[in-house]
Amino acid sequence: MQISLPQSFRVTVGKDAAARDIAVEQRYGKAPGLFWLGGFRSDMMGSKAMALDALGAENGLAVTRFDYSGHGMSGGDFNDGTISRWLEEAEAVFATTSGPQIIVGSSMGGWLALLLARALLRRGSHAHGLVLIAPAPDMTHELMLPDFTPAEHESLHNHGYVDQPSQYSDTPYRITRALIEDGKQHLLFGSVIETGCPVTILQGGKDPDVPQAHAIKLTTHILHDPVTLTLIPDGDHRLSRDEDLVRLRDAVLRMVG
């Protein structure tokens, strides 16, 4: 089998001052394609994204990866980022795919995957399946705000942002008031979450960022679609160890069928 190389191109999303160029890597192949949605401050060259690309190459599957604005090779300012903005970019890149797609979302990308699946249903379409890695739906209000100290709440109110140290970066992660306020428009908990397709969730039992209770809560909201939750007792948030990547590959291949 001849393996094609990914094609690099850019998609312009938004108009005028809101326009930003989104970097995309797309591998030609058969359906169902694999569509990657990364996490907060991650990019399409991370270990899980590249494992997904390699899986597509080995099996002749189409693979689409991209960087949100303010991430990786895409244009735009990270501090302008909101769930609405990044979802708009995800929808624009998804429109470049053809045929059924398995949407694979990590952390914040899991939230965006659920929102994208809902948007597809509203247009009379549906994803082939969802594979969610440590999914963080409603993270702005379920995982960020509750952990803010009084000083951080004050900074958010007075300065419009909070800088938090991160074990994944030498520089603090900036969380803006715009991100928090915009997140309110996209909250999923509290009502039934419709995906229109099978859902597989991979969750680490030692995840310090998205606790396993969050994944369990998510499963209780998906009432009309089949859900498989795999808890990895010693797994962290990234789930990027060799054995974790094997689990990811297996989950995707099961969904490919």
- Is 229 a domain residue? yes
Among residues of the chain, what percentage have pLDDT more than 90?
A: 94
Residue 171 binned pLDDT confidence (cut-offs 50, 70, 90) = confident
Answer whether 180's CB lies under 8 Å from 148's CB. Answer: no
- Is 143 a domain residue? no
Structure confidence by residue, pLDDT tens digits, 14-41: 999 999 999 999 999 999 999 999 999 9
Q: Quick one: pLDDT at residue 165?
A: 84
CA 121 – CA 98 distance, rounded (Å): 16
Q: Quick one: pLDDT at residue 57?
A: 97
Answer whether 92's CB lies under 8 Å from 11's CB. Answer: yes
Instruction: Please count the residues of the chain.
Output: 257
- Is 156 a domain residue? no
CA 134 – CA 110 distance, rounded (Å): 7
> How high does pLDDT run on average in the chain?
96
Instruction: For 150-210, give the secondary structure using H, E and C.
Output: HHHHHHHHHHCEEEEEECCEEEEEEEEHHHHHHHHHHCCCCCCCCCCCCEEEEEECCCCCC
Query: Count of domains in the chain?
Result: 1
- Is 163 a domain residue? no
Structure confidence by residue, pLDDT tens digits, 71-115: 999 999 999 999 999 999 999 999 999 999 999 999 999 999 999
User: What CATH number is given to the structural domain containing 128?
Assistant: 3.40.50.1820
Instruction: Supply 201's token pair.
Output: 């969730």
Residue 168 binned pLDDT confidence (cut-offs 50, 70, 90) = confident
Structure confidence by residue, pLDDT tens digits, 195-246: 999 999 999 999 999 999 999 999 999 999 999 999 999 999 999 999 999 9
- Which of 169, 163, 104 minimizes the C-alpha distance to 131? 104
Does this model's pTM top 0.85?
yes
The stretch 142-168 carries a mean pLDDT of 93
Q: Quick one: pLDDT at residue 167?
A: 81
- Is 65 a domain residue? yes
Question: 228 is in which domain, residue-wise?
Answer: 7-138+187-256
Answer whether 127's CB lies under 8 Å from 103's CB. Answer: yes
